[in-house]
Chain A
Amino acid sequence: MSARLPRKIPAVISFPPESARQDAWGWMEELSVSRVRLLTLCVLRQDERLFLNFSIGGRRLGPAPARIARAEKDGDGFFRAEAVFTDEVFKRELSSAILRALAAAA
């Protein structure tokens, strides 16, 4: 079961302290329980670890630990990245949030 929301979900992208990077932001183009596709002006690299904060259906989620599985720069200069959620507890929480959003969208 899937749906497309009328607007994209924005997300705060933060990085582990050791990477010494400022927080950034981006859009979630596609979101599932285990992975998310991000669109951001921030530079992302494969295997980079990050945390995502976002809201879905009015419910705030995160910080969700994730790892960049693949990242590429598009023609506009944005980075399109696919991130894999690495925390199982968060995945369950996300699953229930998505179910509620899907129910609302139905």
Chain B
Amino acid sequence: MAPLLSLLCADAQERSRLALLAGEAGYGVRSAGRLEDVLELLGGRRPDIVLIADAEKDDAAAHAREILRVSPTMPVVVAAERRDASRAVELMRLGVCEVVPPPWTRESLEACLDKSVRSAGTAISLRPLPKRRRVPAYFLALAVFLALCFGVLSERHAAQERARKAARVDSWSAPYRHPAGLDFDGKNLWAADWFAQSFFVHALPDLNIVRTVHYTNQTPLDILFAQGASWRLSASGVITRGLDDQDLTPLQKYRTNPGTVSMAYDGIYLWTLDNKHVLHKHILDVDLTEIASYHCPDPDPTAVVYDGRTLWVLDSSDRELVRLNLNRPDEAVGYMPLPEYADGRYRPAGLAWDGRNFWTIGERIPHGAGPARIFKHPTLRVGS
């Protein structure tokens, strides 16, 4: 319920103006032109505050004195017609709670009315007043507290992150021993084992083997999924294009360079890598025609992959990934070491790209002495 204000103002125009301002300030207004009307109101429903307009003809001091005589605890506010500090203080000494300076505005009137409704006397003391706690000190204390909380929380988060990172599994043991190639079909990871003459299909993220594709009459070295087809490379140097179905149903065979060990597709050309360290560029015509060849710059390339931007070659002797210039693949433009192979227990044999990370498969040293291992490599900074 809006507080009730009794307005005393002889001038009708000023009265309506003040009533409007007080109404805008949130007060219910009862206007009166004469003191008697206000005193009558005090006897009925008692207003919360009285506002008197001060004018030369209409002395607010006399009105305030009379109102305070009848109702001593009534907050009285005077709206001064002229700005006169002495007059204002004189009115305040009489008991007026506040004097609104001219020009009257809703803001100044509202401030004075609100403040007058809650008023108390002056505290006096011989000793200096106790210092108020300053707002900046509050903010400073709050900021220090928040900074401490943030520090503790971020340290906890960092510790959890470290623990999570330490607990994260990024290498898996495989049940076969002679891996030759690796590729990602968009959903699963395919590993070729030349000794088992099989492709092993690993489902992400835990790399369980969900399928095995075995060949009795050929030795698979690598597999590639491109242009909605599967491309199988066998040790005889034959590439078999097949359907991307359950049985990889063969459609066409191509004879390529003997000793081919790996394949990659860059969206236009098929790239093959042979064991003489030469990269061959083929167009996808009926003969898989070779249009160019480049000598790899690294000493022992064993696999090639396209990551959506350029070609990468897996160097098994230096245990690193070599980034090639796509236009001139005989030029290396970056190197990414593979610390997972630093202990020398595995020799990297296959390489795949899943859209975010490189995957490699390593053969236990010496050849096939133990189960192969698949490594997922974090995104690393490429050195030049």
Contact = CB atoms under 8 A, between A and B. Distances in A.
A99 B108 contact: no
B93 A77 contact: no
Interface stretch (B115-123, B179-187, B218-226, B271-279): B115-123
B85 interface: yes
Given A32-B129, A41-B108, A76-B111, A12 B86 contact: yes
Contacts of B108: 41, 77
Interface residues of B, number: 33
Contacts of B43: none
Interface string A9-50: 111111000000011110111111111010101000000000
Given A25-B89, A72-B135, A76-B114, A30 B123 contact: yes
Contacts, number: 112
Interface residues of A, number: 46
A2 B128 CA distance: 10
A25 B88 contact: yes
Interface in B89-130: 89, 92-93, 95, 98-101, 107-108, 110-112, 114-115, 119-129
B83 interface: yes
Contact of B125 (A6, A76, A98): A98
B134 interface: yes
Interface of A: 1-14, 22-25, 27-35, 37, 39, 41, 53-56, 70, 72, 76-78, 82, 95, 98-99, 101-102, 105
Interface of B: 83, 85-86, 88-89, 92-93, 95, 98-101, 107-108, 110-112, 114-115, 119-129, 132, 134-135
Given A3-B123, A4-B122, A27-B122, 18 more contacts: A1-B126, A1-B127, A2-B125, A4-B120, A5-B121, A5-B124, A7-B121, A10-B88, A23-B85, A24-B101, A29-B122, A34-B128, A35-B129, A39-B115, A41-B98, A41-B108, A56-B124, A78-B111
